[in-house]
Amino acid sequence: MKSVLLSRFLILLPWVLIVIIMIDIDIKRTIWIPVAGRSSRALQQQQQQQQLQPRVARTGAPRVTQSQNQNQSALPVIYAITPTYTRPVQKAELTRLAQAFRQVARFHWIVVEDSTTRTDLVSRFLARSGVSFTHLHVYTPRRYKRAGMPRATEQRNLALTWLRQHRTKKDPGVVFFADDDNTYSLELFEEMRSTRGVSIWPVGFVGGRAYERPVVSGGKVVGWYTGWRPDRSFATDMAGFAVNLQVILANPRALFKRRGSQPGMQESDFLKQITKVTDLEPKASNCTRVLVWHTRTEKPHLTNEPSHRKDTIVIEV
Ligand code: UGA
Ligand code: MN
């Protein structure tokens, strides 16, 4: 009897030991690795991968379910063209824009720096923005950097050229000029998404009034409510219209003009090349709602800013 019990015990013993070892390993894994493993190569790799995850969002793939994804892939992409230049408020301006843009589905941000290179500030900013983007740069010739000269002509034209080189007839899209000194409601992007040709809407704080707006009757634009140059064929701000990508591609020579163009006339001069007032598609409840404002951040007072660094650290503002 004793020998039977002993042999059973000896048969079971290795199995019991294996189970105990397995449980022990499992406990060690859950307890030890997150703490002690911080310096381990495997965890470092895991952390690096986690750090890389924002890059996925950067390329326009916000985390969505498959069915949401399928619904969204039917939407035309909104291409927002933002000219920008170095000044104290630049990062703050771009932050406000990115925080709106990253919430818009199927959105691609074309940021064009008025600069001889891609600056580190903007490069770093875009890499962390959570928005799908293309980063370009072109410097405005010095002779055009004067008061009374239209701004950002070269930058917007470079973005149009990029679209013409990188997008085709098969790509559904809507192009919008999003200056960096405006405030954008998310509703604006819902409105412009359905642009078939050229769409138009009111803009706050432009034309010397609380708002400027196209006057609509019977679903057509019949005039302009504006306090400045009502003789403009299209009395709208850059932020007041969007163009279907196919219209941009079908009119390869439509560009913003330097020659003969005065400040504030660039929009009208450009729109004349691609559409007629009677063909405009009014948005924002027949142009009765303001969904974008030319807020223009106040220039900060920096009179006490030392000319040589006094702080012990270098800090990006
Ligand atoms: C108004 C319109 O809102 C602009 O769309 C238009 O380009 C401008 O007039 C014009 O007539 O040229 P305003 O506020 O006077 O705008 O111009 P900014 O907002 O200072 O500049 C427009 C865009 O160009 C901004 O995104 C700004 O960052 C950029 N910019 C400005 C440059 O890239 N380089 C510059 O030297 C100045
Ligand atoms: Mn502006």
Question: Residue 61 above 80 pLDDT?
Answer: no
Residue 36 forms part of a structural domain: no
| pLDDT of res. 90 | 98
Q: Quick one: which ligand is closest to 142's CA?
A: 1
| pLDDT of res. 68 | 58
Choice between 59 and 301, residue whose per-residue pLDDT is larger: 301
Residue 7 forms part of a structural domain: no
| pLDDT of res. 72 | 77
Q: Which of 151, 180, 293 to mutate to test the pocket of ligand 1 (most atoms within 8 A of CB)?
A: 151
Is residue 84 part of an annotated ligand binding site? yes
Question: Residue 36 above 50 pLDDT?
Answer: no
Residue 280 forms part of a structural domain: yes
Closest to 86 (Cα-Cα) out of 109, 129, 119, 110: 119
- Residue 92 sits in which domain range? 55-63+71-293
| 195 Cα: distance to centroid of ligand 2 (angstroms) | 24
Residue 274 forms part of a structural domain: yes
Q: Is 22 exposed, middle or buried (0-12, 13-18, 19+ CB in 10 A)?
A: exposed
* Angstrom distances, CA of residue 68 to CA of 58, 73, 196: 18, 9, 23
| pLDDT of res. 47 | 37
Question: Which residues make beta-bridge pairs with 221?
Answer: 216
Measured from the Cα of 263, ligand 1's closest atom is 11
Residue 23 forms part of a structural domain: no
Measured from the Cα of 294, ligand 1's closest atom is 3
Residue 149 forms part of a structural domain: yes
Is residue 184 part of an annotated ligand binding site? no
Tally of domains in the chain:
1
Is residue 181 part of an annotated ligand binding site? yes
Residues designated as active site? 267
Residue type, 82: T
Whole-model pTM: value is: 0.81
Choice between 136 and 27, residue whose per-residue pLDDT is larger: 136
Q: Quick one: which ligand is closest to 82's CA?
A: 1
| 50 Cα: distance to centroid of ligand 1 (angstroms) | 38
Residue 303 forms part of a structural domain: no
Q: Quick one: which ligand is closest to 179's CA?
A: 1
Q: What are the pocket residues of ligand 1 if the criterion is a CB atom closer than 6 Å to any ligand atom?
A: 82-85, 114, 140, 145, 150-152, 155, 179-181, 237-238, 263-264, 266, 294, 296
Residue 171 forms part of a structural domain: yes
Whichever domain contains 161, its CATH number is: 3.90.550.10
| 118 Cα: distance to centroid of ligand 1 (angstroms) | 19
Six-digit token pair at 219?
Answer: 């679903």
pLDDT band at 5 (very low <50, low <70, confident <90, very high): low
Question: What is the DSSP pairing of strand 198-200 with strand 281-282?
Answer: parallel
Question: Residue 56 above 60 pLDDT?
Answer: no
pLDDT band at 31 (very low <50, low <70, confident <90, very high): very low
Measured from the Cα of 264, ligand 1's closest atom is 11
| 264 Cα: distance to centroid of ligand 1 (angstroms) | 9
68-85 CB burial, b ≥16 within 10 A, e <16: eeeeeeeebbbbbbbbbb
Which residues have a Cβ under 8 Å from the Cβ of 176 and sit 6 or more positions away? Answer: 78, 79, 80, 81, 192, 241, 242, 243
> Residue range 157-176: average pLDDT?
98
